[in-house]
């Protein structure tokens, strides 16, 4: 059996930025190679020397113009079986909104705020291009559901 091909590429971070009204930052852009407009969450590849959370913070600020004081890891997963790269998923809360700081290749990114349930439905409907966003949304929604259930039980 031959050894699998394992190219090295930087890890990436993806962020579910959720405000106090359970609205989630969603980006949309046209990806002609994939057939049109798709949704995605703020995120991107690590820069040299960055930790996963530093990357997540930077990407959220650049792509959505958002900073957050509460951060929680939702886990990390291999991007493909043939690569050493991982995607690190985060949830960010206690948000402060500011201006986007998009790069030349990101100028068509459109930011909007969606109810969590609508974002998860869009993920289930295949409106996200990459799988890490839907996974992050579903993990964050699962945890939100458990938190709300626990509050109802103790109330």
CATH of residue 96's domain is 3.90.79.10
Which pLDDT tens digit goes with each residue over 34-85? 999 999 999 999 999 999 999 999 999 999 999 999 999 999 998 888 888 8
Residue 25 resides in a domain: yes
Domain enclosing residue 135, as ranges: 12-154
Structural domains counted in the chain: 1
In this predicted structure, which of 13-22, 104-113, 144-153 has the lowest mean pLDDT? 144-153
Quote the pLDDT of residue 100: 86
Residue 7 resides in a domain: no
Residue 1 resides in a domain: no
- pTM (predicted TM-score): 0.85
Residue 84 resides in a domain: yes
C-alpha of 6 from chain center: 24
Cα–Cα nearest to 132, from 69, 52, 65? 52
């Amino acid at each position: 059996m031959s050894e699998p091909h394992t190219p090295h590429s930087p890890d990436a971070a993806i962020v579910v930025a959720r405000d106090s009204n359970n609205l989630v930052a969603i980006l949309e852009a046209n990806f002609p190679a994939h057939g049109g407009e798709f949704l995605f969450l703020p995120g991107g590849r690590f820069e040299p020397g960055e930790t996963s959370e530093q990357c997540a913070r930077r990407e959220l600020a650049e792509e959505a113009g958002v900073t957050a004081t509460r951060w929680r890891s939702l886990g990390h997963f291999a991007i493909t079986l043939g690569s050493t790269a991982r995607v690190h998923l985060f949830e960010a809360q206690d948000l402060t909104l500011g201006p986007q700081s998009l790069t030349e290749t990101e100028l068509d990114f459109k930011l909007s705020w969606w109810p969590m349930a609508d974002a998860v439905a869009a993920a289930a409907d295949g409106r996200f291009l990459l799988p890490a966003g839907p996974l992050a949304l579903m993990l964050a929604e699962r945890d939100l559901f458990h938190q709300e259930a626990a509050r109802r039980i103790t109330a």
